[in-house]
Amino acid sequence: MNEKQKLYSPREIHLALTDKDDEMVVTWITKGRINHPIVYLFKGDCSVVTSNSNNNNNNNNDYDSFNISIGKSIVYNGLEGYVHSVKLNNLEFGKTYCYSVGSGNIYRSDIKGLVEQQTNNNNNNDDYDDLIRWSKWIHFKTKSNEIDHVTFGAFADSGTWGDVHEVVAAMSKDESLSLAIHGGDLSYGLKEDVWDKFGDIIEPLASRMPFMVIPGNWDVKEGALQPFVNRYPMPLVYKQPTIEQKRLSVPSSTSPSQHITLQTNPNLYYSFRYTHVYFIMLSSYDPYTIGSQQYKWLVSELELANSMRQKYPWLIVIAHSPMYSSSTGHGGSDTSVRTQLEWLYDVYNVNLVFSGHDHGYERTHPVLAERVLKKNHNSQYKSKDGTIHILGGTGGATADPWFNEQPNWSAIRESTSGYTKFIAHKQTLQVTYLRMNGTLGDHFQITNEYPTLDSVKLSKVNNNNSTPSEHTGVFLLFFALIVFIFPICAYYKLPHLIFSSLIPKPMISNKSMV
């Protein structure tokens, strides 16, 4: 690869869903600056495009079959390069599309022929110079709510060493997958070159299907949060930053300078719906306690998801830190998250929670507060049985050891690398853990019974979500009694007068006056 190719060739290409059903966003990196990031999009199989590109009789009418979308480029502190994103609009459901990303001459020579931009500077024939700025042709398929089932894969804790190459290769070869979910700790990198390496590793998978991510503890560290947020744009709930202006005095100057600090709302969480499944993507590293912004949002999402159960019967939560884990990696289960949120999952009939953080695979029985709700050795469950938790930190990072004693709620656990595969029909959710070598690690199925909400359990949610004034009113009344009313009563001797009035006066005999 020559220097020009290193600067302008697209790399780390990946797709993501937006908050609109008919959109997809394509993101990639270049080391050199480009004028406009462009995506060529063609509805159909990529073989149609490549066969046309080999035809010397291409003409201007070929462009009638293509959509050309132009996006934007950004930079951020520490990045030696540019992040480009292009939004694809008006996509049809259940269709195959072929696309290529790049920049430069909008009329591509591999489609139209050598009509534009032929340069011969310094006697160098660069007829195809514009092609170094373009990626190969890549296909993806949009979601459909009409099909019988959808298949997606999930994993977490990848890094750039270990088994990540094999895991990504196994998922890339699985033609049944139409969506990939990463449960956090993507690159384990605190420097940009590590994120570059991870982006190159994940591209064969993430460039041909939506790649939806949540933050892990490594993704929110200093040096990692900026690449995580900017390289992998997700349909976050709160998009606009707030601006805080601070005036700083400058020595030997009468005029102050102005320092502007951008502060974004905690918003590394979002939701999306994808063919029979309602996904809630939580951040384990934004506040999640009762009354917090994320907590209130979660309750509203759970309510909405349950109102749409006929269309999206399966409710799945993705969160990095596991409520249930018998791994020694981080000391076992995250009891803080469990205390705050598990009861909500019970109230709103969450079918499954997928997590990472600890490196290994573990699956629970339906469980609540460490109490097993249903054991089934045939791994056949019903949606009313309770929430099942999967620890899926199998994305390639070095495995963590387990505690010696396997808890009663733990159905299966093993120290391997691979991915969890979901096949969602309206009536069944089939879940399989596949090791990176293709062998079967686990399999279970949940049958849908469209559970209804329990009004008694819901009342607890409403009480916890009551407005602060309902609680502070009692406190303020008590405070007023102590600070104001009691001292006033004491000053005017009201307690003495009241007490005296309640005690009957003694009868005085006339004889005593004699």
Contact 18, 87 (CB under 8 A): yes
| Each residue's pLDDT expressed in tens, for the chain with a length of 514 residues | 677 778 889 999 999 999 999 999 999 999 999 988 999 999 998 887 765 554 544 444 444 578 999 999 999 999 999 999 999 999 999 999 999 999 866 556 555 433 333 333 333 444 445 556 899 999 999 998 778 899 999 999 999 999 999 999 999 999 999 999 999 999 999 999 999 999 999 999 999 999 999 999 999 999 999 999 999 999 988 765 543 333 333 333 333 333 334 444 456 999 999 999 999 999 999 999 999 999 999 999 999 999 999 999 999 999 999 999 999 999 999 999 999 999 999 999 999 999 999 999 999 999 999 999 999 888 999 999 999 999 999 999 999 999 999 999 999 999 999 999 999 999 999 999 999 999 999 999 999 997 778 877 787 787 776 544 334 344 445 555 565 666 665 666 655 665 555 555 544 444 333 3
d(CA 159, CA 189): 8
Residue 311: Cβ within 10 Å count: 12
Which CATH number among 1.10.3720.10, 3.50.50.60, 1.10.8.60, 2.60.40.380 corresponds to the domain 1-142?
A: 2.60.40.380
User: 147-238+266-466, what's its fold?
Assistant: Purple Acid Phosphatase; chain A, domain 2 (3.60.21)
Cβ atoms of 112 and 102 within 8 Å: the answer is no
Q: What dihedral angle (degrees, nearest 10) is formed by the CA atoms of 6, 7, 9, 10?
A: 120
Could you tell me which of 230, 155, 217, 158 has the C-alpha nearest to residue 187? 158
pLDDT at residue 326, as a whole number? 99
Q: What is d(CA 164, CA 462) in angstroms, rounded to the nearest whole number?
A: 44
Give me 212's structure tokens: 């939806």
Reported as half-sphere exposure (CB side, CA atoms, 13 A), residue 341 has a value of 30
Q: How far apart are CA 18 and CA 503, in angstroms?
A: 76
Q: In the block, which residue shows the tokens 């009868």? A: 507
DSSP classification of residue 264: -
Neighbours of 283 (CB within 10 A): 23
Residue 29: per-residue pLDDT: 97
| Euclidean distance between CA atoms 29 and 76, whole angstroms | 12
Cβ neighbours of residue 444 under 8 Å, at least 6 residues apart?
Answer: 363, 379, 380, 381, 388, 411, 430, 431
- Token digits for 243? 């601006």
Sheet containing strand 11-17, edge to edge, reads 11-17, 24-30, 82-88, 72-74
CB-based contact 227:189 (threshold 8 Å): yes
Query: Encoding tokens for residue 149?
Result: 């089932």
- Of 212, 202, 165, 186, the C-alpha closest to 24 is 212
How far are the Cα atoms of 167, 379, 479, 480, 486 from residue 483, in angstroms, in the given order?
Answer: 66, 62, 6, 5, 7
Q: Which two tokens stand for residue 482?
A: 């102590």
Q: What is the 3-state secondary structure (H, E, C) of 196-217?
A: HHHHHHHHHHHCCCEEEECCCC
Q: With contact defined as beta carbons under 8 Å apart, do 269 and 282 qualify? A: yes
Same fold, 1-142 and 147-238+266-466: no
Burial class (CB in 10 A: 0-12, 13-18, 19+), 504: exposed
Q: Tell me the domain boundaries of the chain.
A: 1-142, 147-238+266-466, 469-505
Query: What would the two tokens of residue 292 be?
Result: 């917090």
Residues 6+ apart with CB under 8 A from 229: 268
CB-CB contact of 110 with 127 (8 Å): no
Report the SS3 class of residue 513. helix
Q: Which residues pair with 139 in a beta bridge?
A: 98
pLDDT at 152: 98
Q: Which residues pair with 219 in a beta bridge?
A: none
Place of tokens 């993501």: 16
